[in-house]
Structure formats: C-alpha cells, structure tokens
C-alpha cells in the first residue's frame, strides 16, 4: 500500500503523534520510522514526512498506539548537578532519572545547564513545549544571579538595547544590581529569548563570572516556595486560564482528555522504557522532594535562610536486607 501524500496539510506529522502518545521523543520516533518499526493502516512507512489523522491506525512494533492523554504541565525545582536530558553520553545524572516514577513521560520546556538551578517547566505535550519555548510567545524568564566582580547600573541599563557577543546578537535584557556581597554582586535579570548560556555569556562580556544562577520565573509560572528537587503539577483549570485560548490553540493542547493511567498505556515500548530507566521516588503527591548523592546545598536566593515548604524530614527507603537503598540501581 503506498504512503499517504506528504503534501496533505490535514492532521499532524506522524512523529509528533507518536511523541504525544508518550512513547518517545519526536527524534526517537523518526528513528523508529527509518528503521521500519512504524506502520500506518497496515503499511510500514519509511519517512516521517507523513501527516495522519485520528482516523488512521498507527502501530509501533506491531502494537497499536495508545490514545492521547490530557495536556499537563509541572513546575520542577531543578537542582545543580543534573543534566536536562533523557540520556547523557557522559553518564551524568539527569533530571528525568531523578523524577518520581509515577509521573508520565515528560519533556522540558527549554533547558537549564548542569550548573544552573531553579524553575524548569515539564510537560507531557511536545506541542505545548515548543509553543512555550518560542521567543514570539513573549514570556519573560527571570533569574537571580550571583557573579564575581563589579558592574555599574549604567552598564546593565545598556543591555536593554540588546548586545552582540562573539558574533551572536542577544535581544533586550532587563538587569538590575540588587546588592554587593563581598567580592560578588547579586543581580536580577529578565530575558525573552533564552539562547544557550545567554546570561553567563553576556555577564562575562561585562567582566563578571557567574557562580550561581537561579531561574525564579518562566512567564507567569514562578518558583515560589517550591523546595529544591521538588515537582508540582499545575492544575488543569489554572493551565487553561494561564495559556489563554490563542496560545492553547497554537500548542493544540487538550484539556479534556483522560490522564495517562486512564489511557491503558500498556504499549511494549512503555514497559521497555520503564525497565531501562528506573527512577528514584520519594516524598508525597503534589510537591515531591527528590534525593540524590549531592553535597550540602546553600539556601535559595541571596544566601539568607529561608523556610522551605513540604515535610521537614524524609527517610530513605530500605532494601529487603534492611540496609539503605543505593542511590543507583544495581546492575
């Protein structure tokens, strides 16, 4: 059976539909298609340049694609020392290995590098992630920054006109000098593009060396009192209202669909992924405190003590022999 006309503008690209179903990322889905593992209406396809609709029957490795789940968004307080990726070639710890196992398959809205911390939005909907990442969305990302060196308010004010560093142009940046602390300065910065390592590169251009970077807000979503390593879901009604009809339509978000557990998500690829990617799970529903082998961490913000929400003490689960469970799964 021949493949569908790739010029058909109706429906969605096949890799996007597979990603929305929670089986894999779009890139992984495209690799599966190239390997001949995906079929549409009984015919194996070889190109991801194919649009499908709800009427099409899609199978991966012979198993039917599970139905689409409701669009969900989570606030996550990313700690330092974790990489924002599903798999790291260097073997470093990733945020997705640290997330509780009961969560659906999630992707990040943008990234924070390994030495940055603070608010990271996670979603089960690739369309929503891409919509929120676009500079055209106009959402301001706000950061608290500690940097070694000195800078004048006048130099920071000039960033409002944009700046070019090493041939890369960065758009307008809002930056204020909060205070000086020893050899360091504390700044508050806001930007709308979020290019790779933008804050660090711009401040380095001004003679500052960033030694702490905390994202405190992404558009209307704020870090607030979310504890270090904790994750909390944004309620569906709040998410719908915050996005508004225009942005929700752009993302093709679905706020009425079932949750993942109600979709009967028992596709072999899901079971295989759960076996390959064991995750640490601690804490309670809602705000979940996550643990990992890290050094003692300084308080959030400007170094002053702050009260943290959530349980004051968490006990590590024990293995069957009664000893503490290792931080990494045994081979």
Q: Active-site positions?
A: 113
Q: What angle do CA 49, 9, 25 make, to 5 degrees?
A: 45
Name the residue among 53, 32, 55, 26 with its Cα closest to residue 44: 32
Which stretches of the chain are DSSP H helices? Answer: 14-20, 26-34, 95-98, 126-133, 153-157, 198-205, 236-251, 268-276
- Can you tell me the distance from the alpha carbon of 190 to that of 215, in angstroms, rounded to the nearest whole number? 10
Half-sphere exposure of 306 (CA within 13 A, CB side): 16
Which stretches of 164-301 are DSSP H helices? Answer: 198-205, 236-251, 268-276
- Can you tell me the distance from the alpha carbon of 330 to that of 254, in angstroms, rounded to the nearest whole number? 39
- Can you tell me the distance from the alpha carbon of 31 to that of 47, in angstroms, rounded to the nearest whole number? 10
């Amino acid at each position: 059976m021949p493949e569908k006309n790739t010029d058909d503008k109706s429906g969605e690209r096949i890799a996007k539909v597979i990603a929305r179903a929670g089986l894999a990322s779009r890139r992984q889905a495209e690799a599966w298609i190239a390997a001949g593992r995906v079929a549409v209406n009984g015919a194996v396809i070889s190109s991801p340049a194919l649009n499908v609709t709800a009427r099409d029957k899609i199978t991966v490795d012979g198993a039917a694609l599970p139905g689409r789940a409701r669009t969900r968004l989570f606030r996550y307080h990313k700690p330092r020392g974790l990489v924002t990726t599903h798999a790291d070639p260097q073997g470093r710890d990733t945020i997705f290995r640290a997330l509780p196992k009961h969560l659906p398959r999630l992707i990040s809205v943008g990234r924070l590098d390994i030495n940055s911390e603070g608010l990271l939005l996670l979603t089960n909907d690739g369309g929503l992630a891409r919509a929120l990442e676009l500079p055209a969305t106009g959402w301001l990302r706000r950061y608290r920054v500690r940097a070694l060196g000195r800078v004048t308010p006048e130099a920071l004010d000039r960033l409002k006109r944009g700046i070019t560093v090493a041939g890369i142009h960065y758009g307008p940046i809002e930056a204020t000098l909060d205070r000086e602390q020893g050899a360091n300065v504390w700044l508050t910065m806001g930007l709308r593009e979020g290019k790779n390592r933008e804050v660090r590169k711009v401040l380095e251009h001004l003679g500052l060396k960033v030694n702490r970077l905390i994202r405190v807000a992404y558009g209307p979503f704020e870090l607030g009192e979310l504890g270090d390593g904790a994750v909390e879901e944004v309620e569906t009604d709040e998410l719908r209202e915050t996005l508004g009809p225009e942005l929700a339509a752009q993302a093709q978000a679905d706020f009425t669909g079932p949750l993942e557990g109600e979709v009967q998500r028992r596709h072999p690829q899901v079971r295989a992924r759960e076996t390959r990617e064991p995750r640490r799970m601690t804490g309670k529903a809602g705000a979940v405190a996550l643990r990992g082998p890290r050094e003692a961490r300084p308080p959030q913000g400007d170094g002053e003590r702050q009260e943290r929400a959530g349980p004051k003490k968490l006990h590590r689960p024990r293995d069957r022999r009664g000893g503490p469970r290792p931080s990494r799964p045994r081979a």
